[in-house]
């Protein structure tokens, strides 16, 4: 028996016990009660402690790009850990350097672009926020670009900086005061965005350092920015000397059917951003995030000693990301995501169940719009039927399955939504 077997199996051995009770006595109650205790995964399926199988249509919230226990990813992580698992950032490793080069190539980033590695999306956005603060020299001199714009409905993480960029009052208010200068502009409203850059706004509140946006808002219920918005945002930020920061933590690395969502003509229209943040799908389930800074100006906003991390860019995380990207490319998963995503979206939209109003999103980042606010109950029914989904809004279900989802699995999901029983609206029963 190996050491690993000794310690992990000993810790859970013989305790088929009441995991939910043990959870609530040992783990902080930030997430509410767990829906199930999961013990194993393979491909797009996971199994719970009772041996029940579920089709995982959430993939750890858009994380497990290659599904569970993918042999290539497992081998890459194991091989790297068995060779060199961690070094300080006083040293470099070949995997880290190769991953930085790979991301710059996927981003088609211009000469002078650079990458900073993190462990999460929050940390990537925190770094981007610090870049916005450094990009502070306005027409009136150093330190005069005081404003950072973000979108209503946007989600960027839970640290104080990332939270300051996140619009949801219930997340923000218990933790105020947050870093200042952030203003929220209405979602998908180019006129309101233009107004935030107007001389009236600038004279009243100062110049804009950065605009931070998700090409598709994930936590807000899978809401895509309309065609032309990002192009307008690029034009305004460029004209006014502000950074355009795209949060692709949820949309990046193939999720929407292209490496980055902004690369799709309908979303980005060929723009080049200043900063893109990544995490979720990047490591295929291993924690890793990245900030891609486009061009020499953005790439040098954080100088020596101005930012750091112990774990960010560690060789195991880099190996996981290289393997994930490699499999997506080798197996043609970008085209696959476009095809199965379209089949899933149109299948659900056409399933003729009175509770289903439609389906939206791109690739395999989708939301099922319900006709009534019964998403929590639908998610419970789904779990009982063997499907993991997410009630992302009172009247919407988010689907973000592994990118390896098969057409047979699409058929099973469509059949589930087609056969949904009538569900009473909360409060009306």
Query: Which C-beta is closer to ligand PLP: that of 56 or that of 377?
Result: 56
Query: Which C-beta is closer to ligand PLP: that of 150 or that of 349?
Result: 150
- Taking the C-alpha atoms of residue 74 and residue 328, their distance in angstroms, rounded to an integer, is 15
Helix axes 94-106, 315-330, angle to 10 degrees: 40
Query: Which C-beta is closer to ligand PLP: that of 218 or that of 315?
Result: 218
Residue from 150, 141, 152 nearest 181 by CA: 150
Concatenating the DSSP letter of every residue in 209-227 gives EEEEE-SEETTTTSEEPPT
- Taking the C-alpha atoms of residue 294 and residue 26, their distance in angstroms, rounded to an integer, is 44
Query: Which C-beta is closer to ligand PLP: that of 61 or that of 343?
Result: 61
Kindly report the number of other CB atoms within 10 A of residue 8's CB atom. Answer: 11
Cβ-closest residue to ligand PLP?
A: 121
Q: How far is the CB of 16 from ligand PLP (least distance, A)?
A: 31
Q: Tokens 């990118």 appear where?
A: 403
Kindly report the number of other CB atoms within 10 A of residue 390's CB atom. Answer: 19
Is the dihedral angle over the CA atoms 136, 216, 192, 233 positive or is it negative? positive
Q: How far is the CB of 111 from ligand PLP (least distance, A)?
A: 28
Which residues sit at the interface with ligand PLP, rule CB under 6 A? 120-122, 125, 155-157, 214, 218-219, 247, 249-250, 279-280
Q: How far is the CB of 122 from ligand PLP (least distance, A)?
A: 3
Q: How far is the CB of 253 from ligand PLP (least distance, A)?
A: 12
Q: How far is the CB of 57 from ligand PLP (least distance, A)?
A: 16
Q: How far is the CB of 297 from ligand PLP (least distance, A)?
A: 24
Q: How far is the CB of 218 from ligand PLP (least distance, A)?
A: 4
Q: Tokens 């180019």 appear where?
A: 190
Q: How far is the CB of 292 from ligand PLP (least distance, A)?
A: 15
Query: Which C-beta is closer to ligand PLP: that of 288 or that of 328?
Result: 288
Helix axes 407-418, 333-349, angle to 10 degrees: 20
Query: Which C-beta is closer to ligand PLP: that of 230 or that of 355?
Result: 230
CB 243, CB 275: distance < 8 Å: yes
Residue from 147, 107, 161 nearest 275 by CA: 107
Q: How far is the CB of 206 from ligand PLP (least distance, A)?
A: 26
Residues ≥6 apart with Cβ < 8 Å to 144: 136, 137, 138, 206, 207
Kindly report the number of other CB atoms within 10 A of residue 128's CB atom. Answer: 32
Query: Which C-beta is closer to ligand PLP: that of 157 or that of 181?
Result: 157
- Taking the C-alpha atoms of residue 132 and residue 152, their distance in angstroms, rounded to an integer, is 19
DSSP 44: T
Query: Which C-beta is closer to ligand PLP: that of 127 or that of 293?
Result: 127
Q: How far is the CB of 320 from ligand PLP (least distance, A)?
A: 14
Concatenating the DSSP letter of every residue in 270-322 gives T---SEEEE-GGGGBTB--EEEEE-HHHHHTSS-TTS---SSTT-HHHHHHHH
Query: Which C-beta is closer to ligand PLP: that of 155 or that of 417?
Result: 155
Query: Which C-beta is closer to ligand PLP: that of 390 or that of 409?
Result: 390
Residue from 389, 300, 349, 372 nearest 35 by CA: 389
């Amino acid at each position: 028996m190996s050491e690993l077997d000794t310690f992990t199996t000993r810790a859970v051995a013989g305790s088929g016990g009441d995991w939910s009770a043990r959870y609530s006595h040992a783990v902080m109650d930030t997430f509410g009660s767990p829906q199930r205790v999961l013990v194993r995964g393979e491909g797009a399926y996971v199994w719970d402690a009772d041996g029940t199988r579920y089709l995982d249509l959430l993939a750890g919230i858009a994380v497990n790009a290659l599904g569970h226990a993918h042999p290539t990813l497992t081998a890459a992580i194991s091989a790297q850990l068995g060779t060199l698992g961690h070094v300080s950032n006083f040293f470099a490793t070949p995997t880290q350097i190769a991953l930085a080069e790979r991301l710059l190539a996927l981003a088609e980033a211009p000469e002078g672009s650079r990458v900073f590695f993190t462990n999460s999306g929050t940390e990537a956005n925190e770094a981007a926020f610090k870049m916005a603060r450094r990009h502070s020299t306005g027409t009136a001199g150093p330190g005069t670009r005081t404003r950072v714009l973000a979108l209503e409905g946007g989600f960027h993480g839970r640290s104080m900086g990332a939270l300051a960029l996140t619009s949801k009052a219930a997340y923000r208010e218990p933790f105020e005061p947050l870093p200042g200068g952030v203003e929220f502009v209405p979602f998908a409203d180019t006129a309101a965005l233009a107004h935030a850059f107007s001389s009236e706004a600038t004279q009243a509140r100062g110049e804009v350092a950065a605009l931070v946006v998700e090409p598709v808002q994930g936590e807000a219920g899978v809401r895509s920015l309309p065609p032309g918005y990002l192009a307008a945002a690029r034009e305004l930020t460029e004209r006014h000397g502000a950074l355009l920061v795209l949060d692709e933590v949820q949309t990046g690395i193939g999720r929407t059917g292209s490496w980055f969502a902004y690369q799709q003509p309908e979303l980005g229209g060929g723009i080049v951003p200043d900063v893109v943040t990544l995490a979720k799908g990047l490591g295929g389930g291993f924690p890793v995030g990245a900030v891609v800074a486009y061009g020499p100006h953005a790439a040098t906003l954080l100088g020596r000693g101005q930012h750091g991390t112990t774990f960010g860019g560690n060789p195991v995380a880099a190996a996981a990301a290289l393997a994930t990207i490699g499999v997506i490319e080798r197996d043609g998963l970008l085209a696959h995501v476009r095809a199965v995503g379209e089949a899933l979206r149109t299948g659900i939209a056409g399933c003729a169940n009175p509770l289903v109003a439609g389906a939206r999103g791109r690739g395999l980042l989708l939301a099922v719009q319900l006709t009534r606010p019964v998403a929590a109950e639908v998610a419970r029914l789904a779990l009982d039927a063997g499907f993991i989904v997410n009630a992302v809004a009172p009247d919407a279900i988010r689907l973000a399955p592994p990118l390896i989802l098969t057409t047979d699995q699409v058929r099973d999901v469509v059949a589930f939504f087609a056969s949904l029983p009538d569900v009473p609206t909360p409060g009306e029963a």
